[in-house]
Chains A and B, each alone.
Chain A
Amino acid sequence: MATTPDAVLEPAGAPPVPDARSVTDARIFVASQWQLMWWRFRRHKVAVASAVVVLGFYLVVVGADFLAYADPDASEAQRSLMPPQRVYLLDGWRFAPYVHGVKGVRDPNTFKRVYRPDPSQKVPLRFFAQGFEYRFLGLIPATRHLIGVDGGDAEKRIFLLGTDVQGRDLWSRLMYGTRISLTIGLIGVSLSLVLGVVLGGLSGFYGGVIDTLIQRTIEILRSIPTIPLWMGLAAAMPRDWTILQVYFAITLIISLLGWTDLARVVRGRFLAMREEDFVVSARLVGCTRTRTIFVHMVPSFMSHIIAATTLALPAMIISETALSFLGLGLRPPAISWGVLLQQAQNVQTVAISPWLMLPAVPVIVAVMAFNFLGDGLRDAADPYGR
């Protein structure tokens, strides 16, 4: 949804590299482009922290099954709308986390479900415990989860973040939702990347008619309000597609608009670089056009591409949630951040079951993290800069 002018995608002043200078002056002069970039990046503390956060998210993506303890589709009316449980970390003096058993009943006067923890029932939490079956990485069957209970029926006993209307555990659903939302982002961004680099490159390298055509297309696409475009495209999707197919189609739709920014960056870089000495000399020496592009030009703006790509990801995440809100994106029974938020988008959640809005937290954290990371990368991307 974001349309970013060029100024945003240009480096805004990289952090100085005093540390490296103090190591040995010589090192700077022989260091590779990537090493310089890394040193610059390291200075930007928040960016580094964000990188760690992002890494954490992708670990969740890989290990969602392991981190969840309940089958995300297991519904049970008697567990409907449970608030998050309190976890007691110390049992006496030992570190032995446990939760209390819970009994619920529908209050006849308020029609709310009321849950009372039963202090006499202590449910110890076990780590690396048995739970529902899954396939790790889609291949290896496993039953171990990070958290579980004796007896393997964690979905009936633990509710770390509470449950939704159908009694499904929110924590587990959030794990699976993270997986889908972040992979959509990744795939979408890759598609945008390919489109952006190819079209932007063509535009910048050849100039002339091709350039004008592509530029006009970009301008037209950027001028159309995104929502009607999405709606039209989403509505045109055949309805008998499986969840997976819809999922890929959604990423395609989102990335169809995201490539414009990347294309502009690439084009700008190509235009600037066409006249650079090293490119001209490469041509003079006799390199073919392909070689010139891929061996000489592309590496020099690779860092910009990485930065721009990272900055495009949060837009993907937000777009996915927006699409789900409109009913165009992923729909139940698929689980994504967008779906979870869409299920929380009602008055009764805000008023009575606010814990169902918790999926907004990873969205916020992820978007912020990617943004700071992207900023840091972009600042570090121009190692020869001021």
Chain B
Amino acid sequence: MTTRWSRLMAVLVAVGMLSGVIAVGALAQSESKTSLIGKLEGPEVVTDAGKIPKAFKEAPQLAELVKAGKLPPVAERIGQDPLVIKPLHSIGKYGGTWRSGFTGPADFWNGFRCCSGPDHLMFWDYTGDKAMPNIAKGLEMQDGGRAWLVHLRRGMKWSDGKPFTADDFVFWFEDIYRNKDLVPTPSAQLAINGKQGSIEKVDTHTVRFKFPEPYFMLPDVLAGATDLAGQGFAYRGMGGFAPAHYLKQFHPKYVGQAELDKKVKDAKFDSWVRMFLAKNDWALNPDLPVVSPWKTATPINTPTWTLERNPYSVFVDTAGNQLPYIDKVVLTLAENLEVLNLRAIAGEYDYQQRHIDLGKLPVLIENQQKGGYKVHLDPGDYGGDMIIKFNLSYDADPEIAKWFNTADFRRALSLGIDRDQINETFWLGTGTPGSVVPADTNKYNPGPQYRKMWSTLDLKKANEILDKIGLAKKDAQGYRLRADGKGRLRIEIMTLGGQFVQYTQISEMIREQWKKIGIDLQVQEVERSLALKRTAANEQQLGAWNNDGSEHLFTFPLHVFPFELAAVATSGPLYVKWFHSAGAQGKEPEPRMKELMEKWKKAFGVPEKERIQLGKDIWKIAAEEVYIIGVVGVGPAANGVRIVKTNMGNIPARQYNSPDGKTPAISRPATFYYK
């Protein structure tokens, strides 16, 4: 009798303790998630003329060169209109080498994100919301949005000491952008409603962007990672400006074809176009004049990509110190992601965000002490770290095409995904299950209810919907049969391996989950180039990817609706042509998608308030129609796990994680320093 009672007591106590532990765990979980996710903060650009410092200081080694007569004095190098940045926490100290890792010559984004300044004309503030003046001193709207005056900074110089003037913009526009060999396709971002704009010189320090129609979104386009954003895309002939004095020697208009051909042959290039674009490549050519705080010293196609301080950097802090504080950035080659992550774990990197695998979070945390670093999580603002796109223009199998174009089918499939499972397994609980809409704090978010719309686990409803639309019949294993009588309904999802997010494994999990709603999903992992080929050929059925960048849906529309043919996952390649040719070619999408596309196009030419409303409407349609299923988002899986050595200063607790913001550029690495 007593033993039974004591056993019962023991069980009760155990259960009580266990539930207590779980409850505390749940509480602590939310608490601790925050300890890794800090408060959003960052340095600010100072625009108040009164706060601009009058006297400047420079790094000791530059001071030496000035004394030796090899460099002009710092005030002369910076000019009259410095770009003043108020450091996040404190004025820093000069010195130090920033060690980091990259994966090879294709990893140029690594360098752009950390060290290119950024060199955009405008740039986002640390919240990612507002476009602030950057390389441009100011932007002035004229003629109802049809013209924009860009005021440059007086006395600003390229990294080789030559003046940075309006001529560099004209050179870019006339001799690079308009040269069909260098730039065969004009950029959609220098155009409004399909009509190209132009750039003209007003005076030495003023440039005018002119458009046939009002282009209200230009400031955002200049701020984001677009074709007009500095030397990031110079390797494709884009950028908005280019060092005329340097590049003229590689251009047939100034040098003469014969002499140029000789140069090309000597340098072993295949054609003058290849040579020109290679010379204009920020990551590849150490001789290219730049305006970023660091410039490439040993290029990206060597085992160590080093960047050194730019003595003519126009960036300064509020005390007049010329930025950057850090002398050198050294990126070492790690051809294998495990090696790179292990080096980060071992503390061989000072600040590493790119290529860090969220799955290794426990190991990273474990070694914080030993490695002398701290782990930060920067969740992105976009709704889908993992999304599933339906190819609505798929036509190889009419039955499947029919279902893909049935909104209820898509909704039911979305309801059949257990997102909490996926979040727990692959995001270690740090993501947010939901639809594709961006974070609640994003200005285009249509409202909190859209996060959960069609994006919860509701097997009953999913099964009901599928039964209702005509897929009620099932085979012996419980899979639904096709309505055309050709057996089991089987759909295929295409995934890419080796990415920051485990698309294939997640799709496998979804495959198991969809068994419960009777859908047979085949998972196919393919290689990048094959994925591309199949999507372009309209062969993809479902595609797994992420929608990063969609938080700035107007500059990054790729994952909102079918915008590009070259995509590893697509919602409708046949619609891309239709969209770009304004209906002349391709296939017309269904009404609601058309509506979405129209709204998107319209947004470029309307003032901000209207644009924000259009953005919200677009996301509303996306959430209601479920063209793309959102699985888990607002998470740190892509570029969101940050290792920072404890001896670095001006490091934000949390930064806005966005490709448009070129994170960590948005935190102004020029203000990082070693304590």
Asked if B523 is an interface residue, CB under 8 A from chain A, the answer is yes
Interface hit among A184-192, A201-209, A278-286, A340-348: A340-348
Instruction: Pull 17 A–B residue pairs with CB atoms less than 8 Å apart, ordered by A.
Output: A75-B425, A77-B425, A80-B424, A109-B35, A111-B361, A120-B14, A165-B359, A239-B526, A327-B497, A331-B497, A332-B505, A333-B511, A347-B345, A347-B360, A348-B362, A352-B362, A352-B366
* A75-B366 in contact (CB<8A): no
Asked if B244 is an interface residue, CB under 8 A from chain A, the answer is no
Asked if B527 is an interface residue, CB under 8 A from chain A, the answer is yes
Interface hit among B20-28, B58-66, B180-188, B622-630: B20-28
* B363-A347 in contact (CB<8A): yes
Q: What residue of chain A has the Cβ atom nearest to residue B31's Cβ?
A: A108
* B525-A331 in contact (CB<8A): yes
Shortest distance between the CB of A230 and any CB in chain B (Å): 14
* B512-A73 in contact (CB<8A): yes
In the bound complex, residues from chain A placing their C-beta under 8 Å from that of B262 are: none
Shortest distance between the CB of A16 and any CB in chain B (Å): 51
A positions within 8 Å CB-CB of B: 73-78, 80, 103, 105-112, 118, 120, 165-167, 235, 239-240, 327, 331-333, 345-348, 351-352
Shortest distance between the CB of A241 and any CB in chain B (Å): 9
Bound complex: CA A246 to CA B505 (Å) = 19
Chain B interface, >50% SS class? helix
Asked if B140 is an interface residue, CB under 8 A from chain A, the answer is no
Among A111, A112, A167, find the residue whose CB has the most chain B CB atoms closer than 10 A: A111
In the bound complex, residues from chain B placing their C-beta under 8 Å from that of A346 are: 338, 357, 359-360
In the bound complex, residues from chain B placing their C-beta under 8 Å from that of A347 are: 338, 341-342, 345, 360, 363
Chain A interface, >50% SS class? loop
* A75-B28 in contact (CB<8A): no
Bound complex: CA A118 to CA B18 (Å) = 10
In the bound complex, residues from chain B placing their C-beta under 8 Å from that of A333 are: 508, 511, 523
Mask, B358-401, CB within 8 Å of A = 1, is 01111101100000000000000000000000000000000000
Shortest distance between the CB of A79 and any CB in chain B (Å): 10
Known: A118-B14, A332-B504. Is A166-B428 also a contact (CB below 8 A)? no
Bound complex: CA A41 to CA B33 (Å) = 64
* A352-B14 in contact (CB<8A): no
Contact of B32 among A76, A109, A327 (CB under 8 A): A109
In the bound complex, residues from chain B placing their C-beta under 8 Å from that of A348 are: 357, 359-360, 362-363
* A165-B362 in contact (CB<8A): no
Asked if B509 is an interface residue, CB under 8 A from chain A, the answer is yes
Shortest distance between the CB of A345 and any CB in chain B (Å): 7
* B11-A77 in contact (CB<8A): no
Asked if B458 is an interface residue, CB under 8 A from chain A, the answer is no
In the bound complex, residues from chain B placing their C-beta under 8 Å from that of A111 are: 361-362, 365, 428
Contact of B508 among A73, A103, A351 (CB under 8 A): A73
Known: A105-B22, A108-B25, A347-B338. Is A352-B505 also a contact (CB below 8 A)? no
* B527-A352 in contact (CB<8A): no
Q: What residue of chain A has the Cβ atom nearest to residue B358's Cβ?
A: A111
Bound complex: CA A327 to CA B421 (Å) = 26
* A75-B525 in contact (CB<8A): no
Bound complex: CA A166 to CA B508 (Å) = 10
* A166-B509 in contact (CB<8A): yes
Asked if B255 is an interface residue, CB under 8 A from chain A, the answer is no
Among A108, A166, A333, find the residue whose CB has the most chain B CB atoms closer than 10 A: A108
